[in-house]
Structure 1
């Protein structure tokens, strides 16, 4: 398998699991992942937030780790990337206000490149006007935003052409598997060791 070059869009208070897990898992299977944030360079960090589901009406939020960026946002040429990852958390709420972010996102849709968005990441896609006529999902409270952007809503991991969406980090196994399939990544599944007789 030839590894792909992927762009991951981070920001301050991106959800901890939703940035760390895909960043590491995609590298583990041989892809190169450049993590960027507007107004930040390689070596800078984004503080993360841990969102958890503890029986309240919405998620709880706790401080997470510092996530280190490995590429400069200002140097990004989206034409050099094969796919885009948009994690959730609180970051998408403000990242969607950057015209450069919206233009970058539109490139991946215009060129029909694979895009994986999770949780609040669909806020950026909605602001970029790339959801009309699509079927997708996101954090459940964003259903009205998704429908308002002209998309159909699903309550589970959804793949619509080049777009793979999930509701939150508990969707990682299915969401990442769908994205890897969208990328054309063939992952050999390990067989369990035979028990000794």
Structure 2
């Protein structure tokens, strides 16, 4: 365990942003926003699922991307400058270093696509 102020994003090779309510609150923390931006600036692999798109939009890293998320997050994806990927709930989409999916049924496809980025 570590606090966000103790974490150096440069020490990590990839980022996973889970869904649920956490992104809604994490996007309010400037240290977390900075960490998310680091992974995009360094072109490191990022996997986001469900409501994780709320954190991506807040970090302003979606511009020009193709991104899936929980359907209720479609407005945030589009306001963040991305094209919303309206895919089946058990599918994922990769755009560059970013893998996204709408919900937990996509875990197998989402993790398989993320694994490819990690190789």
User: Is the shorter-chain TM-score for this pair beyond 0.5, marking a shared fold?
Assistant: yes
Given that residues 67 and 84 in structure 2 are in contact (C-alpha distance below 8 angstroms), is that contact kept between their aligned partners in structure 1? yes
- In the comparison of the two structures, how many residue pairs are matched? 115
**Unaligned ranges ≥5, structure 1:** 1-41, 43-70, 185-197
**Unaligned ranges ≥5, structure 2:** none
Query: 1:145: how far off?
Result: 1.0
Partner of 1:121: 52
* Higher strand fraction (1 or 2): 1
Given that residues 4 and 32 in structure 2 are in contact (C-alpha distance below 8 angstroms), is that contact kept between their aligned partners in structure 1? no
Query: 1:141: how far off?
Result: 1.1
CA distance in structure 2 between the aligned counterparts of 1:97 and 1:137, rounded to whole angstroms? 21
Q: 2:83 aligns with which of 149, 152, 166?
A: 152
Task: State yes or no: 1:177 paired with 2:112.
Answer: yes
CA distance in structure 1 between the aligned counterparts of 2:4 and 2:61, rounded to whole angstroms? 21
Q: What is the TM-score with the length of structure 2 in the denominator?
A: 0.93
**DSSP-derived class of the 1:176 partner:** helix
4+ residue stretches of structure 1 with deviation over 6 A? none
Higher relative contact order, chain-length normalized (CA < 8 Å, sep 6+): 2
Give the alignment of 1:1-197 within 5 angstroms.
Answer: 42=1, 71-156=2-87, 157-184=92-119
